[in-house]
Amino acid sequence: MEFMKIQILAIGMLILGAYTGGVIAKKLNIGETIGQIIGGMLIGPHFWTLIHDWAAKKELLTSTLLFQKLEYVYTHGFHTYAEVIEESHFFVFFFLGIIAFSLGEELHFDRLKQVGIKPTIICLIQALLTWVMITLVFWKAFNFPMINSAIIGSIGIATAPALTFVLMNKLKVEGKLKNLLANIVVLDDIIEVIFFSVFLGIAVMIQSGTHLSIGHLAFEVTKELVLAVLVGVLIFFLLKFTVKPRGVNDEDGVIEVESFYGPMPSIELFFIVVGFVAVGSAIALHFHLPFLVVAVVAGALVSNYHFHAIFHSLQLGNIMPALNLFFFALIGASVKLETFSPETFVFVLGYLFVRGGSKFLGTWFGCYITEQEKEITNSLPKLMLPQAGMAAVETILVATVLKDSGGELIFNTIIPALVVFEIGGAWLSEKTLISWKNFIGSKSSGKKEHFSIEDIVGNVWEFKAENKNNAIESLSEHLKGKGIIKDLHEISHAILAREKLASTALGKGVAIPHCRTGEVDKTTCVCGFLEKPVEWGSPDGKPVDIVFLVITPKDKPQEYLQFVRAIINTVKDLSLEGEVNHSLLRNILVG
């Protein structure tokens, strides 16, 4: 009972500490993630061990009644508190499996084709240079074991641009720079996961005393990768069998999302996906397989051969932030401050300089040989420095798995560096993006700033529909018939899911149903004129007979806003009351 009480206390303290740290950090503009890590650190047992050891040396403090009471608490419950934190590290494996599975969404064949050869070249150059340089420095200069150096090098590859993309959205930066960075980061993470899984697997074999020769090593690594792929395939088929599509209810025209097996993003679907991924990770860990490969393979198969709603269920707004917070709190609480020394400080500085320099030079050289424009070459390298997320997860994983083989030293080297990269990277990224935005602004001055409604000319269709759902399905079929989309079911379900949140009717007989999807690489709009109006939940209560269906790529949300702005402006300019102005709009669009 006593242990359980301390478990509950530890969870509460971690959550409160990380939340408070994140709130303060956001107000100071240094990054919520960094604040959560620091909050966890201040709540963690290692920080309070330092405080206790310092206070115990002060006679003035030890003689006080308060210290004696705190000393009693420290000796009777504090070690249990530290043990609870230590045993919570299972969450790291669980959480990293989910992240790796989500990464599989980016491995859709069409997405890989769109990446192109130039981003691939840039990514490979900076990733390999970073790995080689970090590995050599820690192996030769710092005398780390070669395999541990290779692990540190693989972690160094990872880039976490979440903060950069937040800044991009804040500054409304779109276009080539954003797309190029997104493609490079996706490939970066894939390369990093493969390198990390292989080298960590080798390190585990060495730790267990397995005899290693070149032939035996190659056989063991290949065997583990093949078995990991097979487990990933098994997870995919379980999801394929379990998560099945549901039709539209003919009576009320609403998709049945209440079903446990519905393909729409939902909390039920979240439980199914997380459950299978966790089981797959546990199987892989039991047989000493690279569980990250298991998760990535399962995710890649789902991305190409099943519903993307499976990934969307992992993005539910009220769930992932909570998991993120607890994870980063756990990272902070696990930082063993008492092991910091001038020696580890040198390692931290080495990691900072070598990774930062390699990322910058590798990206710059990649841009140079792929003949990127000057502004891209100057800007992109400065956006590759932030590092948290995946690197933080893998670092605590190494500390847990290689606890007696240098794992803690790796942890105490990388975690402080992540804080510097995240804070310094935020400052440098913001300056770079402001400079880029000013360049784009001067370059585009005098050009057309917004879409006009005439840009939709050509995608016009007159049709019949019995209700809103039928109208959306008909327009989706029209897009598929023109070869614009492939997965009709995916698109129509995504649009109908958006309609359930709130009606997309504008009033005056106009509606703009829409969705974002990986099915298209540019925003497409088709306009349908209904022979008979249908109910759409319009704010003015009038039925709809003009429907603009907008399909936008996931990575270009601003394009949708431009289309909608053009449509709304036209609706305002035209009264659209009665047949005369409807005919006028039809004439504008038909051309």
Asked if the structure places residue 185 within a domain, the reply is yes
CB atoms within 10 A of CB 394: 25
Asked if the structure places residue 393 within a domain, the reply is yes
Summarised one tens digit per residue, pLDDT across range 73-102 is 777 677 788 888 878 878 877 887 887 787
Specify the 3-state DSSP secondary structure of 437: helix
Asked if the structure places residue 446 within a domain, the reply is no
Element (H, E) at 234: helix 214-242
CATH number at residue 502: 3.40.930.10
Asked if the structure places residue 131 within a domain, the reply is yes
pLDDT at 245: 56
Are 126 and 213 in the same domain? Answer: yes
Asked if the structure places residue 252 within a domain, the reply is no
As a whole number of angstroms, the distance between CA 43 and CA 552 comes to 44
Are 169 and 227 in the same domain? Answer: yes
DSSP string, 499-558: HHHS--EEETTEE--EEEETT-SS-EEEEEEEEEEE----TT---EEEEEEEEEETT-HH
pLDDT at 260: 29
Are 156 and 284 in the same domain? Answer: yes
Query: Parallel, antiparallel, or unpaired for β 524-534 and 460-463?
Result: parallel
Are 60 and 165 in the same domain? Answer: no
Asked if the structure places residue 448 within a domain, the reply is no
CA 201 to chain centre: 25
Burial of 462 (0-12, 13-18, 19+ CB in 10 A): exposed
pLDDT at 124: 93
Asked if the structure places residue 444 within a domain, the reply is no
> Above 90 in pLDDT, residue 304?
no
* Cα–Cα separations (whole angstroms), residue 118 to 113, 159, 232, 366, 530: 12, 18, 30, 8, 45
Q: Which of 439, 468, 488 is the last residue of a domain?
A: 439
As a whole number of angstroms, the distance between CA 119 and CA 175 comes to 15
Please tell me the pTM assigned to this model.
Answer: 0.57
Element (H, E) at 71: helix 65-73
**21-25, 97-101, 364-368 — which is least confidently predicted?**
97-101
How does the average pLDDT of the chain come out, rounded? 78
- Maximal CA-CA distance, the chain: 92
* Cα–Cα separations (whole angstroms), residue 162 to 32, 178, 390: 11, 12, 11
As a whole number of angstroms, the distance between CA 167 and CA 426 comes to 8
Under the banding of pLDDT at 50, 70 and 90, the label for residue 251 is very low
Q: Which of 70, 87, 104 is the last residue of a domain?
A: 87
> Above 60 in pLDDT, residue 445?
no
Q: Which two tokens stand for residue 23?
A: 């709130």
Boundaries of domain holding 21:
2-87
Under the banding of pLDDT at 50, 70 and 90, the label for residue 583 is low
Counts of helices then strands in the chain (DSSP H, E): 25, 6
Tell me, what DSSP letter sits at residue 140? I
Are 164 and 305 in the same domain? Answer: yes
Q: State phi, psi for 545 to the nearest 5 degrees.
A: -130, 0
Are 388 and 288 in the same domain? Answer: yes
Give the whole-number percent of the chain exceeding pLDDT 70.
77
Torsion angle of alpha carbons 220, 222, 224, 230, nearest 10°? -150
Greater model confidence, 6 or 578: 6
Are 277 and 181 in the same domain? Answer: yes
Are 394 and 415 in the same domain? Answer: yes
Q: Which of 87, 119, 144 is the last residue of a domain?
A: 87
Q: Report the domain count for the chain.
A: 3
The stretches of 335-406 forming alpha helices (DSSP H) are 342-369, 374-379, 389-401
Asked if the structure places residue 311 within a domain, the reply is yes
> Above 60 in pLDDT, residue 432?
yes
CA 415 to chain centre: 20
Are 213 and 327 in the same domain? Answer: yes
pLDDT at 449: 44
> Above 60 in pLDDT, residue 169?
no
pLDDT at 316: 60
CATH number at residue 364: 1.20.1530.20
As a whole number of angstroms, the distance between CA 168 and CA 173 comes to 5
Q: Which two tokens stand for residue 84?
A: 């609870």
Are 322 and 461 in the same domain? Answer: no
Summarised one tens digit per residue, pLDDT across range 187-230 is 787 788 788 888 888 888 887 776 656 666 667 777 878 898 89
Are 522 and 383 in the same domain? Answer: no
Q: State phi, psi for 140 to the nearest 5 degrees.
A: -90, -40
Q: Of these residues, 46, 493, 514, 582, which one is catalytic? A: 514
pLDDT at 448: 44
Bin 464: left if φ > 0, else alpha if -120 < ψ < 50, else beta: beta
Question: Has 514 been annotated as catalytic?
Answer: yes
Are 171 and 275 in the same domain? Answer: yes
